[in-house]
Structures are given as C-alpha cells and as structure tokens.
C-alpha cells in the first residue's frame, strides 16, 4: 500500500483550495512551503508543516 503525504491549505487559509499531495514527504513539504510563502506570505518551518498541516493518506 502506498501512502501519500497531503497538505490541504484550507486548514491554514480558509479561502484557499490549494492541495499538495506527494508520495515523497520532503517534496510535499517543499511544495507546501513554497506555496505558503509565495501565495500567503507566511514562512513555515518544515517541522511546523509536518506536525500541523501534513496528513498521511
């Protein structure tokens, strides 16, 4: 069974429908971090994204 790492931006920004999904956790974190910075102007650390937003599906 393959697990994917998923970040639903709606949990962080109510009006954003951006979703990151990747089987590679570091890639998911990287994409999420870029999105948060570029679109929302927020800097999250890898740990914050992993512990607070990233889900395994």
Residues at the interface with Zn ion (CB under 5 A): 9, 13, 16, 18
For Zn ion, the closer CB: 1 or 14: 14
For Zn ion, the closer CB: 1 or 17: 17
Whole-number Å distance between alpha carbons of 15 and 27: 24
For Zn ion, the closer CB: 9 or 49: 9
Whole-number Å distance between alpha carbons of 9 and 17: 6
Can you name the residues that pair with 56 across neighbouring β-strands?
5
CB of residue 6 to Zn ion, shortest distance in Å:
14
């Amino acid at each position: 069974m393959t697990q994917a790492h998923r970040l639903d931006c709606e949990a962080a920004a109510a009006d954003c429908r951006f979703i990151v999904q990747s089987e590679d956790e570091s890639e998911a974190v990287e994409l999420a971090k870029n999105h948060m910075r570029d679109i929302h102007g927020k800097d999250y650390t890898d740990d914050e994204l992993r512990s607070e937003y990233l889900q395994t599906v």
